[in-house]
Structures are given as structure tokens and as C-alpha cells.
Copies of this chain bind each other. A is one copy, B any other.
Amino acid sequence: MIQPGLIELENISLTLPGFALENINLTIRENDFFAVIGPTGSGKSLLLEGMLGLMPFTSGRLLFNGTDMDRVPVEKRGLAIVYQDFALFPHLDVAGNILYGTRYHGISRDEAQNRLEHLSDILGLSRILDRRPHNLSGGEKQRTALARALILNPSVLLLDEPLSALDPVFHGEAKELLKRIHREMDMTIVMVSHNFDDVIYLADRGAVIHQGRICQTGDINILFEKPCDLFTARFVGMANLMPVKVGKGRVTVEGSDVSLRTANQPAFPFGYMGIRPEDIVPEPEGDVPVGSEPVGNRLRGTITGIDNHGMFIRVGLDSGGLQFEAVWPRRYIRQYNLSHGSGIRVYVSPEAVHVFREKLDPVPGCQDKAPLS
């Protein structure tokens, strides 16, 4: 029953009135936890609908394990999905929901019962098997929807914004649960999300989608650290984005004297610099890894703002007439005597200075290729 979960999308397009997915190429490998990331309206949920067979692609090929899915109806594709709103059947209780699909997958009554017990154990549903969906909390609904999909041992599990309908209180639990499911069960997971924080915790690989096109795809850490264009950079939380002239091992911010060493030598003469706000650190801390001194960047700045974000603070810095933004633990306020208008020296490692283009030629661009920086 268990099949490998290789998914290939070849030149997929899907045209609707007023919106289109264009020329999507993706390879999702077996046992990947693959994230499709993009803002609302970027087309990522439409892509899921297309993969499920609920929306016919206008052109292109969709292959599961090498088999063209074009004429395979929804119910034969063997893809399970957990919807954002969970889509539980309101007239069935939790057990009825979970068992729903078993009869279509040659699972015997006894076997189905065994799996039900096992899954409801794991997912903490044992005591609510006879409740109706409208009596469940958000977290319970989600776990029921997961169990309903997992009981079929699908080779591919699709998750449509799995965390956005949950209260912050359930959010952390649900994240861990999804991670555990991927670790312990043998399947490919494709998740659609607009929240990069969730994605980076869960996914191995991913693709960034924007206005129906894929901007970048690859290892999730590379998307995070080396976004290949300005849109992706903003989306993954890169800050301190400034236009730069590129020199040998250095970038110079346009219209200023500020010049920074970079370990990411790009092949183009003009572009954008980006530094993650948490990679700008106060100087004493920057001293710790001794030896990095000769190649490090040291800046002297004035604090222009300190905003409290709970766990961390966001600090505004003026250095050489440029505005930088750093994120630090809250205890630094006391530790470094931070206050509005006071001076501070900060350190930026050359690895943390990223360089990329403003915009990429979308076709064939950087699809499934190494990023440019």
C-alpha cells in the first residue's frame, strides 16, 4: 500500500478569470516536508486544488511517482489533505469522520478499528471519539482532520495553511505535532503557508510563490538565508535592504560611505544588500569568536529607537547616515545600557551580508537552481 511520494510539476499553468498560475516547475521528493510559501492571493492554494484534481490545469503535466495524473479523478490520486478550516463532516462524530475513507482503501473493519485506536491514542482523541465537530476546540478539530487523512496511510499529505486557523495557544502544540508526524510516518508532506516562521520550523525544502509564479525554490535554509530576489528577501524577514555597488569582497551602499565586507560575492555589479536584523550584534558579543576580527564589519551607530516586541526588542540604529534595524534579546537593554540617542558599536559578520538582485527574470530564472548570491 505504501508508495513513494514523488511529485513532479512540469510547466503547469492554470488560468482563471483574473488570475493565473504560470509555468510552474517543481520537484517534490519522497519524504520531503515541502512548503509552498507566498502571500495571500499568490496562487498557492490554487496550486493545491490543481494537484488534488479539483481544478483542471490549463496546460502542463503533473506526475506522481512518474505517472501522469491528468485523467486520474480526485478520489484515485491518493493525496490526503487537511484544509485550513478542517472541513470535518458535521453529521458524523469524530470516529465517523476518521473512519470515513477507510472503506475506499481496502482497509478491513478490524484493521480500521485498530488504526483508529492507534491514531486517537497518538493524537489525544480517544476521549472525544463520539463528539460532533461543532463541540470541538480548534486544536481538536485539526487533530481529527489529521487522523482522518493519516488513517489511510497516504503517500502524500497536503496541508493548507494548517496553523493559521488556530489560537496562539494551540499553535505551538500543533507545530510540534506536524513535525512529529513527518518524522515518524513515512510520507511526503506539502504545506501551503504564508508564515515563514512556521515554515522554517517545519519544512526541509520549499518554494516561494508570488503572483502565480515561482520566485525561488530549494532548501529552506537557503531560502531563508540567501533569498534570490528582493520580494523573497522581504518575505523571509530579511531587513536592512539597501541598494549597493558590488566590489571585490565588499559592497558599498549607494549614496553613502558605508562599505561592508561580504562573504557572498555576487556576479553582478549592482544589487541589493540585506542583513537579517538578528545578525547585527552589539560589539562586545561580536568579540567572542576571536579570530574573525580581520574580516568582520564594525559599525559605530546611534540608537534611534527601541521597540519592545515581548521576547525581543527591535533597535533602530543610525550609522553613517543610514538607518539599520537590529533585533536583540530584551535583557540587552540592561546589559548594554541601551537608550534612545546613546552610541553603540555593532558587529556584522561577512557571512551575514547578503547580496541579491532586485528582480529576477521569471523564466527560466532561478527555479530549482542554486541562488545567485
Please report A residues at the B interface, Cβ cutoff 8 Å: 39-40, 138, 167-169, 179, 194-197, 200-201, 221, 224, 234-237, 276-279, 281, 284-285, 288-289, 307-312, 327, 329-331, 334-335, 349
Contact = CB atoms under 8 A, between A and B. Distances in A.
A313 B280 CA distance: 17
A196 B168 contact: yes
Contacts of A279: 331
Given A39-B169, A335-B288, A309 B194 contact: no
B40 A201 contact: no
Nearest to A352: B331
A194 to B, nearest CB: 6
B169 A235 contact: yes
Contacts of A235: 169
A80 B84 CA distance: 32
Nearest to A330: B278
A178 B234 CA distance: 21
Contacts of A288: 284, 335
A224 B168 contact: no
Contacts of A312: 278, 311-312
Q: Which 8 A-B pairs have the closest CB atoms?
A: A200-B310, A197-B310, A39-B167, A40-B167, A201-B309, A278-B311, A278-B329, A39-B169
B197 A309 contact: yes
Contacts of A334: 289
B169 A234 contact: yes
A81 to B, nearest CB: 23
A333 to B, nearest CB: 11
Contacts of A194: 167-168
Nearest to A288: B335
A201 B39 CA distance: 23
B224 A195 contact: no
7 contacts: A196-B310, A197-B311, A200-B310, A237-B311, A279-B331, A281-B331, A289-B334
Given A168-B194, A281-B331, 10 more contacts: A39-B167, A39-B169, A40-B167, A169-B235, A197-B309, A197-B310, A197-B311, A200-B309, A236-B310, A331-B349
Nearest to A329: B278
Contact of A311 (B138, B276, B330): B276
A321 B309 CA distance: 32
Nearest to A138: B40
A236 B60 CA distance: 48
A228 to B, nearest CB: 18
A329 B326 CA distance: 12
A308 B40 contact: no
Chain B CB within 10 A, most for which of A201, A279, A311? A311
Contacts of A167: 39-40, 194
A286 B308 CA distance: 22
